Amino acid sequence: MTDLFGKAGRAFLTKVELPASERPLLDADLRTIEFLNHQIATAEKSLAQAVQKDVQVHRLLSVPGISLASAVGLRAAIGQVGRFKAPANLVSYFGLNPSVYQSGLKAYTGHISRRGRSPARMVCVEVAHQLVKAPGPFHAFFQRLLRRKPYNVAITAVARKLVVLVWHMLTREEDYRYAPPALTRDKRARIERLATGQRAARSKGPAPDRTLDRQPAQRAEADYLGFMEDRFGPNGPAGIEHPNRAAKPAASRDKAAPT
């Protein structure tokens, strides 16, 4: 099926027969799309030229779901990662830390504080939407939360975990351990192509096999699920009422009740 918003689709729409009253409206919409596409391409070229040699941006691109725009956004918001002594400091800076309410000797946690860099927080949430669609630890974590939390709450938790991952990657100067090789290579090569107008030179050795891109993430997801089951059992952490956890028999509850 032809994408009507793609190049081939727009070419098709210029030739389709329409009533005389509708043709000017469609042509105006097509000109608007062409203008916006040109503006987006210009902005992406400027971004690519600015971060062409930025090691941290290239490192962030190893995470599935992080594009050029989101990598530059995170890089600009974080600056020097050494400013943040621990992942919790960066989470708080992005406003993804839970609000805390205290009354006497009791403390209660609520929704995220939203007191940090809101544009960076939005970038993390958008990336989280992409992360949970692909196999990997983030997907398994999201599915586990989704059994007992609303969708948006689970996505926000994934965004917070993403910030923790970004802090460790930039602090240790390491790429994402489960990065898909072919996809990561293509994203980095795209920066070179946008910045210079030329394709990046091919590296020595065979090109990464795209069919193997999902294997590291699938192994990581299996390892995560195995770890959670070994540590907490098949029903998850104790004290959390999962929908799939069988209710205790009435006799057991009676024995546990104080007399």
Distance of alpha carbon 12 from the chain centroid? 34
| Beta bridge mates, 98 | 112
Structure confidence at residue 206 (pLDDT): 64
3-state secondary structure of 104: coil
Structure confidence at residue 243 (pLDDT): 45
The band of 107, judged by pLDDT with boundaries at 50, 70 and 90, is low
Judged against a pLDDT cut of 60, whether residue 254 lies above it is answered with no
What is the per-residue pLDDT across 71-93, written as a single tens digit (0 to 9) for each? Answer: 999 999 999 999 999 999 999 99
Residue 185 to residue 193: CA distance in whole angstroms = 12
The band of 257, judged by pLDDT with boundaries at 50, 70 and 90, is very low
Domain boundaries, the chain: 1-50, 53-197+214-222
What is the per-residue pLDDT across 154-176, written as a single tens digit (0 to 9) for each? Answer: 999 999 999 999 999 999 999 99
Tokens of 44: 């992406």
Pairing of strands 106-112, 98-103: antiparallel
pTM above 0.85, yes or no: no
Among 93, 67, 65, smallest CA distance to 78 is for 93
Tokens of 30: 């097509």
